[in-house]
Structures are given as structure tokens and as C-alpha cells.
A and B are shown apart, each in its own frame.
Chain A
Amino acid sequence: MTRYLVRRAALLVGTLLLASVVLFLILRLLPGDPANALLSVGATPDQVAAARHQIGTDRPLPAQFGHWLSQLATLHFGDSFVSSLPVGPEIVSRLSVTVPLTLSAFVLAVVVAVPVGFLAAHRAHTWYGALAGLVSQLGIAVPAFWLGLLLVWVFALNLRVLPAGGFPPDGWSSFPDAFRALVLPVVTVALVMAASLIRYVRSATLDVLGSDHLRTARALGSSFAGAMWRHGVRNAAVPVVSVLGIELATTFLGAVVIESVFALPGLGSMLVRGIAQHDYPVIQGVLFVSTFAVLVVGFLADVAQRFIDPRLRGGLVR
């Protein structure tokens, strides 16, 4: 297992380096001049040239790339082209919204989806089993922003129990406000995430329920719960964990729509703004951090799968 972890960690670093090269090059291939985003109608050619020089886009590509890598080595992401403020602290500030949002939604989604998905499979022929399946399908069809608007309408505009959006200016220092601000966004993301998770849990459970080994275990005298726990859950969990990893990674930046609906200063909206303004350091910084996060999540999902299923441990070590 230790050897595996070392190899996997080395792979992670290598992937990250490769990603940084790709990120850097793809950005430079995009049409449009970042200097334009800084200037106004009526800007003279001199102003454009000065702006290019200031942000360094007049330098050759390898020099720009070297500069970025050397900054990265010291964990700096450079200064925004547009605001000339350092990118790193803003990413940290936005992570303080995005990470709690993503993780809480994830936990809530799992807590909801696992029992409901199990029930939908195990009691597929009862009315509530069918209902669970139907609701999850409906949940997949409903766009997240619409669900968000609906929740705002009910809980903020009508019942007035939660804020419609925003995040306190002093962040988590005013904990109750920050917590309340995240309730509706978390529920929105969690419900959408849960809807698709239910489908996976349901089909994984159906597979296990129909399997020979479970029937054999039952024939040998195990109770349903015992057989399920000993032979069912582990098998069903493997595909579900890999889907969980993907869902978590997607939500990390994919929450941008929800951030907009709830006016949250998250990482996704920072990326969208950066792209609109051709603000390379911002785009690079956000994508680097999110690539890192996604790779780590993938790594954890892998490890979790190997932990759950001993059969996976054999193959890859050699």
C-alpha cells in the first residue's frame, strides 16, 4: 500500500506539471488581447502598448511561462492583469466559500442519496420505491439554478427564514450569518447532486441484489442485513465511490451558476470573470488550484476503492 501511495503521489505531481503547461499554452491560443480589457474606448495605441508592457504579454512566450513557473514554485500565482492585485489571497478567500459549500453539499447528498437509492432498489415494487426513483429522475431534469430560485422564493421571499443570497463582508468571522448564507446554496447543490447519486446507488444495489453471491450467502443462512453488509455493500460501493469523486470534482467549479443565483463570492465566479477579462493570472491560478483539487479527490477516491475492495489492491502494485 505504501509503494502504491508513493507512486500515486508522484503521478499526481507529474500530472499537475503537465496540466500547468497545457493550461498556459491553451490560454495563449485564445483570441483576444488582455490589454483591451484594461482600456477604454478612446485608448491610444500608446496606451495599449503600455498596458501590454505592464502585464508582460509583450514578452516572448517561454519567458512568460518561465516567470509563471518560478512564481508557482514559491506558491505565488502572480498579480491579476486587471486589478494588479495578487491572485493567491483572492483564491484563498474564495475557497473559504467554495470548500464549505462543496463539502457540505456533498455530505448532505450522500446522506440523502444512499438510503433513498437503496430503498428505490430494494423496494422497487412498492409505491415509495417507485416514487424515489421518479423523484430522482425529476431531480436530474431540473436545472440547479431553477431549484435555487424556487428555494429563494419559498424560504427567503415568502417565509423570510433565510437570506436570499450574499455572504457577510467579514466572512466566517460572523459565523451565524455565514452559516445562514450557505444553507440554501448547500441544499440546492445537494439536491441536484443527490438526484443523480440516487440513480447510481439504485442501480449498484440492484446489481448486488440480483447477484449469485448474495443469494448464496442467504442460502447459507445469513440474514438479509447480514448478507447485505458482508457481501453487498462493499460491492455496491465501488462504482458509487468513483461517481462520488466525479460529482465532487464537478461541483467544485460547477457551482458557478449557484454562486450567481445566491451572489456568493466563490471560485467559479472568479474563473468566469477572469475568462471574460482575459485575466490570465486569475484563470491560471483558479484552474491550477481546481486541477489540484480534482486530482486529489480522484486520488482519494482511488484509495477509498482499494480500501473497500481488496481485489483492486493486487493488480496495480506490481
Chain B
Amino acid sequence: MKKQRIALLGAAVATAVALAACGSNSGGASPSSSAAADANAVVQVGSLYEPQNLDNTAGGGQGITEAFNGNVYEGLFRLTDDGKVEPLLATANTVSADGLTYTFTLRDGVKFHSGKALTSADVKYSIEKVLAPDSKSARKSSFPEIKSIATPDPKTVTVTLATRSISFIYNLSYVWIVNDQAGNLSAKEDGTGPYTLDGWKRGSSLTLKKNPSYWGTAATNGGVVFHYFTDGSALDNALLTNAVDVVTSEQNPDALAQFTDNPAYKVNDGHSTTKLLLAFNDRVAPFNDVKVRKAVSSAIDDKKLLQSIWGDHGELIGSMVPPTDPWHTDLTGVNAYDVAGAKALLAEAGHPNGFTFTLDTPNYDPHPTVAAFVKSELAKVGITVNINVITPDQWYTKVYQNKDFTATLQEHVNDRDVVWYGDPNFYWGYDNPQVTAWIKQAEQAGSEAEQTELLKKADQQIAADAASDWLYLYPQIVVASTKLSGYPVNGLNSQFYAYGIHKG
């Protein structure tokens, strides 16, 4: 029932929890000898994430990020595989001494697919599109307040912020630069990327073809067809019968064996940013008591859980920060598995005989399995768990909006999302003024080193406070035919840069 998860994910909540994740453009396998590769070959990509529409500011979801980011649309900046930001449509930028005014110089010779040349007006329009009142961009809330955007000449854009924001450039890498004359982009595109849209058959496939007048290095293949599946086994079968060449994100642990043992395929373990959380409602008893949260965290054997679901794939994490974020520290030792310690903490907290709580469990995999595991683990320290299965939509309303829950399971897809612990109004209600201050200061930091230092402190504090129980980091698995090389392996769940793929 892995497929169920995907369908529902795409549908409601997680499209969203999955704000466009950080991407990578480094090939999984190094490009094979280009002599063997056919520059006109069409790469067939299999995916479980069909876009809702073609506009990432109109609720297109993670599917459109996968298909279009870097392929059809480009930003002023691009995120590299190791999470670094590099210039793309901007060639240079300067920041004023107060850190509030950014000046960007645009690349020469860039044209939209419609033929229009890129100007500063397009950039202004594109940023405003993300911030507009009706924008459904998942990144909208990450942006600081923008005072003004000026376009002194066609090649220069000046953005003035109301407050300092160290992540501004990073966040700009999620802003597609679109033609300001293009109008509604729900069903068409006008970007600057190495591919143009050839067709979209809803419920089935999306076809990109090579852009013959691309400003940069042309794609190493003739085009890409994204084939969309709702059933993970159907997707695996398509790969086994060569109907697709690569699966962007394998979600079916049981299916891996048939590819691992087959010389015609390569299974790539990339870095993921998707964390599975047992999120407590830190506002209400018993989880308003840090000792209870620590006890529960220590009572669950995360390693055994991960092993039982994903075998040798995936990683353990000790906090919200995945290893690819710059401020990662290994905190797996904090509140590590220790049943005796958990019992002692419970006694100290006044629950020597345990207690009973309700765990709101989304109805798609792996949550029901995880809930059953948590229930059996906590039974060993005297805690009774009532599993309440809910739909993604109910989760959004009950847990996320109304905060009417005691504990819940949820996956958080984003990179750099430890900052939510600085928002006391977030659904889990973690409220530590010191952490809130650190996270706020980090955003206004003068340097990345300072930002990193502050976020590390915040991260260590939330781990010590067991703000949530971070169960494990999902694996990010790309399975591909060995005929393919140069594909992204990290993809960090959303982006799939296709222009470097060799097929031959």
C-alpha cells in the first residue's frame, strides 16, 4: 500500500509539507563516455508525483517542482547537490552594508521560450507573483517582508528588505523567473530553461523537449517524458519492462530486491531530507513535561523501526536537522534508546505506572505500521497508546489548524525546516523563548558562519528538550537502468534535473 501514501501525499497535506525541497544537479553515476550516449535519445522518467497544475505559485505541488525546476524554469540562483547556492540567471549580486538591499545583475543573452529577452521587469514580476495575496507558493512564508523591488535598468534588479534575511538568496533559488507577459501559467509555460513543454496528458504523462535556443549548455539528451503512476508496483513493472528508464523516488521497500540483484539496474542511495516525526503537542499534558517527552523518545528503538520498514536503507537522526543542512550535528546519542532510563524518567515525572494517550495516525504508509510499533514499544514502559487513524485532510484540519491532538505522526519533507521550532504557534507548540530568539537571530545574522552557529545551538536545545521524537530519516532511492548516467540521485525529494542525463 505504499502507493496509497503517494496518492494522498500529493493530494493534500504533504504536497505542502513538501515545500519545494532542495535539489541537486550532480549525476548519480558519472556520465559515461559521451560517444555511447545519444544526444537525441528521449529519457523516460517514472514518477509518483503528477503535478496538480503547471504553476508552482498556484498549487502545482511537488510534482511540478520535480518536472520543471531547472528543466523548464530557472531561478536567479540554483541549489547544488550539496545544498550550496550558485548563480544562474543572476551573474553577480551585492548586498548593502546594513544587509537590507540586494542588487542583482542579470545574465546576458537569456531568452524565454516564447522568444522574448529576459529583463529586470520579468524578475520583479516573478518575485511579486510568489508574494502576491493569492499566491499558493509553499515558500511564501519563508520570505522576509520586501519593502520594494526596483528595476533601474533592464539588466539590474534591486530588492530592499524590511529586515535582514540571511536565507534570502537561498530562498530565491525557489523562485521561477517567468515572462511577465505570459499571463496564467496553470496549463502552459514560458521559462528560460534547457527544455520546453511539449505536452501534458493529465493522469498520464508530461513531455519536455530540448530547447534549441537555450542560453547555456544544451541538454545531453533529446527530451524527457515524465510518466505518472499512482501504484508503486505498476511503476516498478514499467521499469522492469523498459517502459521507463529511471524512477525518481522508489517508495516500495519490498521492490528493491528485484533491482539490486539485476545487473541491468542500479539502485542509488542518495541523501534525503524527509524526517519521520512522532510529534508531541508540547502545550498539553502529559507532553508539556520535558521528562515525559524524553522518556517516550528513549523508550522507542528507532533503529529497529527503521530496519523493519526499510531494511538497510535510511538513516537515524537525533533531531530535525538532516546531515545535508549546513548546521547538522550528530545528536543520535541524545535521548537514545534506553528502556530503564525511560522508566526512571517517567517515575520522576509522576507517572510511575505510565499513562494513556491518543496517537493521531495518518492512514497512509508507513504511519499505521509505525503507530503499531510505537504502541508496542511504549507498552513496555507502561504507556498505553490509542491509535486514531485519520485522513491527510483530517490531519490538516484537526492537528495542523486546530492543534486538537496529543501526539501525531507526520513526515516533514523540507530541508532547513528546523526553523519551525522557533514558531510557538506551529502545530506542535514547542515554546522555548531562547530557541525562538536564536532562530530569529540566525535569520538576521550577518554571516553564514554566525547563522550556522546559532542554528546549531537551537538544534541541540530542541534535541535536549525532546521537542519531538525524530524517528528516522527516509531513504532517497533512485533506481535506474544502467544505460542511463548523469541523473540526480539526491533530488532531495522534489527536484529532478534532467539536462545532464546521458542515455545510450
Residues on A facing B (Cβ under 8 Å): 31-33, 36-44, 46-47, 50-51, 54, 82-85, 90, 93-94, 149, 152, 156-157, 160, 163-167, 169-171, 260-266, 269-270, 272-273, 276-278
Contact = CB atoms under 8 A, between A and B. Distances in A.
Given A40-B17, A42-B138, A50-B133, A164 B241 contact: yes
Given A47-B140, A263-B234, A85 B187 contact: yes
Most buried by B among A38, A40, A83: A40
A165 B243 contact: yes
Contacts of A83: 52-53, 59, 186-187
Nearest to B60: A83
A265 B201 contact: yes
Nearest to B237: A164
Contacts of B141: 42-44
Contact of A169 (B11, B204, B237): B204
Q: Which of A41, A42, A269, A270 has the most CB of B within 10 A?
A: A41
Nearest to A267: B203
Nearest to A42: B141
Interface residues of B, number: 52
Contact of A40 (B138, B186, B201): B138
Interface stretch (B270-278, B376-384, B393-401): B393-401
Interface stretch (B85-93, B224-232, B292-300): B224-232
Given A82-B59, A277-B12, A50 B238 contact: no
A276 B135 CA distance: 22
B62 to A, nearest CB: 10
B205 interface: yes
Q: Is the interface of A mostly helix, strand, loop or mixed?
A: loop
A169 B205 contact: yes
A39 B16 contact: yes
> How would you classify the secondary structure of chain B's contact residues: helix, strand, loop or mixed?
mixed
Interface of B: 3, 7-8, 11-13, 15-17, 19, 52-53, 58-59, 133-136, 138, 140-141, 184, 186-187, 199, 201-205, 207, 225, 227-231, 233-235, 237-238, 240-241, 243, 392-394, 396-397, 400-401
Given A36-B12, A40-B17, A163-B243, A260 B3 contact: yes
Contacts of A85: 53, 186-187, 202
Contact of A38 (B59, B186, B228): B59
Given A164-B243, A167-B204, A261-B234, A36 B393 contact: yes
A273 B201 CA distance: 15
Contacts of B7: 272-273, 276
A163 B241 contact: yes
Contact of A43 (B16, B204, B231): B16
5 contacts: A84-B53, A164-B238, A169-B199, A263-B231, A273-B11
A149, A169, A272: most-surrounded residue (chain B CB, <10 A): A169
Contact of B229 (A47, A51, A263, A270): A263
Contacts of A171: 201
B194 to A, nearest CB: 20
A263 B238 contact: yes
B136 A260 contact: no
Given A85-B187, A157-B237, A263-B231, 20 more contacts: A33-B397, A36-B12, A36-B396, A38-B59, A39-B136, A40-B17, A43-B136, A50-B134, A85-B53, A94-B202, A149-B233, A152-B237, A163-B241, A164-B243, A166-B243, A260-B3, A269-B203, A276-B7, A276-B392, A277-B12
A156 B202 contact: no
A156 B234 CA distance: 11
A191 B372 CA distance: 38
A169 B201 contact: yes
B17 to A, nearest CB: 5
Contacts of A43: 16, 136, 141
Contacts of B234: 164-165, 260-263
A170 B233 CA distance: 24
Contacts of A261: 231, 233-234
B423 to A, nearest CB: 9
Given A160-B241, A169-B201, A170-B199, A40 B15 contact: yes
A94 to B, nearest CB: 6
A208 to B, nearest CB: 43
A51 B241 CA distance: 42
The 10 closest A-B pairs by CB, nearest first: A40-B16, A265-B203, A83-B53, A164-B237, A276-B11, A265-B204, A40-B138, A169-B205, A38-B59, A42-B141
Contact of B225 (A33, A165, A169, A264): A169
B230 A269 contact: yes
A90 B204 CA distance: 11
B59 A39 contact: yes
B215 to A, nearest CB: 27
Contact of A166 (B16, B204, B396): B204
Contact of B400 (A31, A41, A166, A272): A41
Contact of A156 (B52, B58, B237): B237
Contacts of A265: 201-204
Nearest to A51: B136
Contacts of A170: 199, 201
Contact of B203 (A33, A39, A51, A94): A94
Contacts of A36: 12, 393, 396-397, 401
A75 B13 CA distance: 33
Contacts of B15: 40
Nearest to B233: A149
Contacts of B205: 166, 169
A43 B392 CA distance: 16
B21 to A, nearest CB: 12
